[in-house]
Structure 1
């Protein structure tokens, strides 16, 4: 899914995927991180940049 709104509840560090290699994901683009939201894994711009709330 590209460009979907990421709900506020999934924007906390609790949902950040740090073991992306273990999940067979590629490295996120510089300045982004992987987020697990429901059954979807997506990347979003890392704080503290004013980032779009999309996944």
Structure 2
């Protein structure tokens, strides 16, 4: 049962990141390699690499 809950959380996170990318919201890659919405990374005190507008990461 815990695995299904974890899978649902991972799927929801992927959908949120995909939607952020589709709508042009800022997304960063943290030092650990995690992809985060910029506001989430800032809330957690993380900095990240930002790709300039018009560039594909």
Give me the TM-score of the superposition, normalised by structure 2: 0.28
Larger Rg: 2
Higher helix share: 2
Give me the TM-score of the superposition, normalised by structure 1: 0.28
Higher strand share: 1
The higher-RCO structure (CA 8 Å, 6+ apart) is 1
